[in-house]
Amino acid sequence: MKQIRIDSSKIDNTDRIRLFFPYDKEIVDLVKTIPGARWHPGIKCWHIATVYGPADKLNYRFHDKLHFVPRNNKIHFQGQTCKKQVTSVARSPDWNEKKILEEFVKTLKIRNYSPKTIKTYTSQLRLFILFFDDRNINELTGKDIREYLLHLIDKKKASCSHENQAINAIKFYYEKILGMEPETYYIQRPKNEKKLPVVLSEEEVTEILQKINNLKHRCIIYTIYSGGLRLSEVLNLKTKDIDSKRRMIIIRHGKGAKDRYTLLSERLVPMLREYYREYKPRIWLFEGKDHARYSARSVQEILKEALRKTRIRKKVTVHTLRHSFATHLLEHGIDLTYIQEFLGHSNIKTTLIYTHITRKGIDNIKSPLDNLVI
């Protein structure tokens, strides 16, 4: 008999019963038979109404299939008239999922992890908790953890990136929160997929830049390509981070909480001055409504709209401009160690990937087919 965890909560200001369980087609099919059952992509759970009828039907449909595990002691079904009621399976008294996740987030913040990493790790740990139903994850073994990772690979078809995120979150919890030694359990790291990044030619970058007319939009995209910035880095730029005299941009608290300098194009300087006079940013270099920091989605939309006006059919993202920046520097003979510094890579091996993309020297090499007289 399988188990499903339940609690009551407000979703969109409506009282709902939330259902948490590892993916199982049989359970999903049963849930779908309940009128008004809906999937919530943010919380990653199914939820149903608490009014009489659906709750009663939940018992009726599931009583011979599942045990129900209350996530707290406040859950109450209304109008239960079935012959067999919900079977409750309680966690151990010291278990409190909410407190565990709160402590997890607090420790990540103390260690200066980025908001994006905190969100990713917390989501991964929550999925890990849900997988083990009513078990206390503080009592799991290395064998249990490997079982979960095998589930991600075999059942969920998780990518190497997704699996690595799960491993990092799990390791952080056991080693940094519980203070366990790394050798307490063994996890086989997945092999990284050897994929080369998409890179634009200089002509393609030019075509994209020429399609952006709005001054602020133009400055944002120019700045990203000028210094090889990550999306989060351009959003976090402040007016004081532009050093026009030295033609440098300072990136504060970049990935890994590191500061670094990167390039500021001479062509970009007068454009930024014009932008400053017109928009008068207060704190952030690029601000949205009410002088709030510009949104990531807005930057993505700027690039998407520009691409729509071009003939480029590559799968281009904002990060593609960063890859293109590094590749173009390498093709113009800039030393790899400088490129490493501009990008903020801790390891030169990360920067070496661009040597597999550059066309430097390749234009002078002919295919043997070109030497044949046919």
Give the C-alpha separation, 209 to 221, whole Å.
8
Is there a domain that residue 87 lies in? no
Query: Over the stretch 286-304, which tens digit does the pLDDT of each residue have?
Result: 999 888 999 999 999 999 9
Is there a domain that residue 196 lies in? no
| Nearest in space to 133 (alpha carbons), one of 91, 176, 178 | 91
Residue with tokens 């959003």: 235
Domain co-membership, 210 together with 179: no
Domain co-membership, 227 together with 309: yes
Domain co-membership, 7 together with 57: yes
Q: Is the pLDDT of residue 19 over 60?
A: yes
β-strands 242-243, 66-70 pairing: unpaired
Domain co-membership, 156 together with 215: no
Query: Over the stretch 72-116, which tens digit does the pLDDT of each residue have?
Result: 444 444 333 323 333 333 344 444 677 888 889 999 998 888 888
Summarize the confidence of residues 178-203 as an average pLDDT.
75
Is there a domain that residue 371 lies in? no
Give the C-alpha separation, 66 to 87, whole Å.
8
Give the C-alpha separation, 168 to 173, whole Å.
9
Q: What is the pLDDT of residue 65?
A: 52
Number of domains the chain contains: 3
Is there a domain that residue 302 lies in? yes
- Tell me which H or E stretch contains 205: helix 202-210
Length of the chain: 374
Q: Is the pLDDT of residue 246 over 90?
A: yes
Q: Fill in the amino acid letter for 232.
A: S
Cross-strand partners of 262: 249
Which segments of 175-305 are extended strands (E)?
242-243, 248-251, 260-263
The pair of three-digit structure tokens given for residue 167, joined into one six-digit string: 């491993």
Q: Is the pLDDT of residue 210 over 60?
A: yes
Domain CATH code at residue 178: 1.10.150.130
pLDDT band per the 50, 70, 90 thresholds, residue 67: low
Q: Is the pLDDT of residue 52 over 70?
A: no
Domain co-membership, 213 together with 246: yes
Domain co-membership, 336 together with 232: yes
Domain co-membership, 289 together with 235: yes
Is there a domain that residue 362 lies in? no
Q: Is the pLDDT of residue 213 over 70?
A: yes
Is there a domain that residue 275 lies in? yes
Residue with tokens 């859950």: 75
Per the structure, the complete domain to which residue 241 belongs is given by: 202-356
Q: Please tell me which residue, 323 or 6, carries the higher pLDDT value.
A: 323
Q: Is the pLDDT of residue 55 over 90?
A: no
Domain co-membership, 250 together with 344: yes
Q: What is the pLDDT of residue 86?
A: 36
β-strands 38-40, 242-243 pairing: unpaired
| Nearest in space to 244 (alpha carbons), one of 224, 223, 270 | 270
Give the C-alpha separation, 289 to 104, whole Å.
33
Domain co-membership, 56 together with 171: no
Domain co-membership, 208 together with 335: yes
Classify the phi-psi angles of 317: left when phi > 0, otherwise alpha if psi is within -120 to 50, otherwise beta.
beta
Is there a domain that residue 372 lies in? no
Q: What is the pLDDT of residue 243?
A: 95
Domain co-membership, 221 together with 318: yes
Contact status, residue 55 vs residue 17, Cβ threshold 8 Å: yes
Domain CATH code at residue 212: 1.10.443.10
Summarize the confidence of residues 31-48 as an average pLDDT.
79
Domain CATH code at residue 44: 3.40.1170
- Which active-site residues does the annotation give? 230, 255, 319, 322, 345, 354
> Taking all residues of the chain, what is their mean pLDDT, rounded to a whole number?
82
Is there a domain that residue 364 lies in? no
Domain co-membership, 168 together with 221: no
